[in-house]
Amino acid sequence: MNILVIAEHDNRILKPSTLNTIAAAQKISTTIDLLVAGTKIDSIVQEAASISGIERILYAEHPALSQNLAEPLSELIATLGKNYTHILAPASAFGKNCLPRAAALLDVAQLSDVIAIETPDTFIRPIYAGNALATIKSTDSIKVATIRSTAFSPAEKGKKLAPVEKISLSLSTTELSAFVERIEVPSERPELTAARIVVSGGRALGSKENFALVEQLADKLNAAIGASRAAVDAGFAPNDYQVGQTGKVVAPDLYIALGISGAIQHLAGMKDSKVIVAINKDEEAPIFQVADYGLVGDIFELVPQFISLLENQKASGNV
């Protein structure tokens, strides 16, 4: 068995999700090649080469691959993929975009958001917003899957460098699409899907201005910020803060839900967190059914208290 893992990067850094995906691949076989595609990404290729457990880095350089466009990238994956038994990519916006297209080009099915690997052909994945887990056996000759990062501990980096092989290729799909621009949401905080602590705000915050309360608590805890769909739809927080079935899936050590009722779609994105704290004035809110520590009350009174207590603890050296 030999596995092709697709590396995710944004032309500046190798995304941590790549390490989780390699960890998943290691559960299947030790013969793992990592595909890094793009242009002017030598430093990312070097970094990728230091990941433990990889046999080779396949470095594909082509102008059409510079912006992770699905059409050329899927064509590349499908061309290389014929020689592999498994093709894995992170279940991020990147992997979800390109991998199903590559699978169709190879005429094989795909398994999305895999959370466990039982055998090389049997995988477990959530369905119905995480309300059920399906154990699925693939009968395809090539198993194509996206991997839920939070379900696998990241592969480590070592001193030994994997050999890098440059691939030269011609692509036929370069005229179909073009990159126009990227609008980034800049943040100094840890990345949402990789953070140890996440503080999330819901509709109860009431306004974009009040959402600063979530930011203040997150700052004290060096946490990433999340939001419920209701808060995002109401414009309190940007889209990519959204935690849930249709947003990001997180599993931090500590998840603090402020003014979030806990709809099924939100729970699907955070219920695998180690410790869940909920602060909500409605004691019947479904979020309390999954919270390890629940506090009933007004977030506008309790969160400032929480922040000042954390400051005191910090001052006395307890945190």
Partner 1 sequence: MKILIAIKRVVDYNVKVRVNPDQTGVELNNLKMSMNPFDEIAVEEGVRLREAGTASELVTISIGSPACQDILRSAMALGADRSILVETEQSLEPLAVAHVLKSIAEREKPDLIILGKQAIDDDCNQTGQMLAGLLGWPQGTFISELKLESDHAVVTREVDGGLEKLRLKLPAVITTDLRLNTPRYPKLPNIMKAKQKPLETLKISELGIDITSRQQILKVSEPAKRKVGIKVKDVQDLVEHLIQEAKVI
Query: In the complex, what is the shortest distance from the CB of residue 166 to partner 1, in angstroms, rounded to a whole number?
Result: 26
Q: CA–CA separation, 237 vs 293, rounded Å?
A: 25
Residue nearer to partner 1 on the CB measure, 132 or 168: 132
Residue nearer to partner 1 on the CB measure, 16 or 53: 16
Query: In the complex, what is the shortest distance from the CB of residue 162 to partner 1, in angstroms, rounded to a whole number?
Result: 26
Which residue in this structure is represented by tokens 């290691």?
Answer: 26
CA-closest candidate to residue 232, choices 184, 273, 255, 200: 200
- All residues at 6 or more sequence positions from 121 whose CB lies less than 8 Å from its CB, including other chains: 137, 138, 139, 143
- DSSP calls for 209-244: TTTHHHHHHHHHHT-EEEE-HHHHHTTSS-GGGBBS
Query: In the complex, what is the shortest distance from the CB of residue 287 to partner 1, in angstroms, rounded to a whole number?
Result: 10
Query: In the complex, what is the shortest distance from the CB of residue 252 to partner 1, in angstroms, rounded to a whole number?
Result: 9
DSSP helix/strand/coil, 284: coil
Residue nearer to partner 1 on the CB measure, 215 or 240: 240
Residue nearer to partner 1 on the CB measure, 32 or 73: 73
Q: Judge whether 67 and 178 are in contact, CB under 8 Å.
A: no
Query: In the complex, what is the shortest distance from the CB of residue 245 to partner 1, in angstroms, rounded to a whole number?
Result: 7
- What are the CA-CA distances from residue 311 to residues 176, 217, 255, 275 (Å)? 54, 10, 19, 21
Residue nearer to partner 1 on the CB measure, 49 or 147: 147
Query: In the complex, what is the shortest distance from the CB of residue 232 to partner 1, in angstroms, rounded to a whole number?
Result: 8
Residue nearer to partner 1 on the CB measure, 128 or 156: 128
Token code pair at residue 300: 């506008």
